[in-house]
Chains A and B, each alone.
Chain A
Amino acid sequence: MHDDHDHHEHHHDHDHGMYEVDPLHYHPPQPDLEDSKLTHHQIMQMAVAELLIEKGVITADELRAQIDFMDSITPARGATLVARAWTDPAFKERLVADSRKAGAEIDMELGPIPILVMENTPTVHNLIVCTLCSCYPKMLLGTPPDWYKSRSYRRRAISEPRKVLAEFGTTLSDDIELRVHDSTADMRYLVLPMRPEGTDGMDEAALARLVTRDCMVGVAVPQS
């Protein structure tokens, strides 16, 4: 789903690919798999990759580049946007209005899927779930944690969100409106948490370190 991403060409003198197709010269795909027998689905994954490469649908270089690209996306990207929004109110307005444009201002590519930034305020707290699968703002937070994809979170976050928040150590007073966003279709969501008290002297980089992944999903709030 990184349609806008330009893959860099990689050149290797000897292509010791993950998917060496000659069985006599087979290199194990990863050291961690050497000692344990491959599962049915792991074999299926390798077979699909090799077939796609043999048929010219994808190349081994594209596959490696895609993995490198996905590894490079971490919650630090989302945290950078949040910290900037905390220190620059005009940027915050632009981020909430159109996150893709706001990201582009600081050369951050947000990808083809619109990401809506939901701002927490003294009266509203936002929480993100995908009850139908596991939609997640991957371009800002990377791959979702296991709990986000769990049956328990998908079932409960929508119907008993305050109990779920309590399991993450987050309690909200009844005066605060808890707004749960079910990420069902063509949008993705990022929570813009409130800047914690006692952070007045902190610069953007220090502020960004307070912004955890969980804060940007809405199960936690930043601690100073």
Chain B
Amino acid sequence: MSARYKEGDSVRVRTAYPPGHCRTPFYCRGKSGVVVRHCGEFRNPEELAYGAYEGPLTPMYRVRFEQKDLWPDYDGSARDKCEIEIYEHWLVPAEGADHA
């Protein structure tokens, strides 16, 4: 599977709430950030958690968010950032971003 996003792309985390095991923190769902690194391809934790060891590899990225975009009451510096590892199926192009 080739990676859909590259460093510098603006992405948004899907607003989804599957009830089972997943590794996308609740607090970043629906939030927009920027891809800072494509970490490689990994098995999907949502499959690994249920005994499916040989599922397809999926690209995983490190996505950087502005802290003030995650926390409305954030009282640190306006420069502060948060970086999260997110699997590709949780990401969509950010609105207005140019993605062919």
Tell which of A161, A179, A184 touches B23, judged by Cβ atoms closer than 8 Å: A184
Judge whether B83 is part of the interface by a CB distance below 8 angstroms: yes
List the 3 shortest-distance A-B pairs measured between CB atoms, nearest first: A185-B85, A177-B79, A174-B77
SS of B interface (majority): mixed
Judge whether B53 is part of the interface by a CB distance below 8 angstroms: no
User: Which of B45, B71, B84 has the most chain A CB within a 10 Å cutoff?
Assistant: B84
Q: Which residues of A contact B42 (CB under 8 A)?
A: 185-186
Judge whether A152 is part of the interface by a CB distance below 8 angstroms: no
Q: Which residues of A contact B47 (CB under 8 A)?
A: none
A residues near B (Cβ < 8 Å) are 114, 131-132, 158-162, 172, 174-187
Cβ contact within 8 Å between A178 and B77? yes
Known: A161-B76, A162-B76, A185-B60. A180 touches B83 (CB 8 A): yes
The count of residues in chain B whose C-beta lies closer than 8 Å to any C-beta of chain A is 27
Cβ contact within 8 Å between B70 and A184? no
B residues near A (Cβ < 8 Å) are 23-25, 27, 39-40, 42, 45, 60, 62, 67, 70-71, 74-87
Q: Which residues of A contact B25 (CB under 8 A)?
A: 131-132, 158, 182, 184
The residue on A at minimum CB distance from B75 is A160
User: Which of A175, A183, A187 has the most chain B CB within a 10 Å cutoff?
Assistant: A187
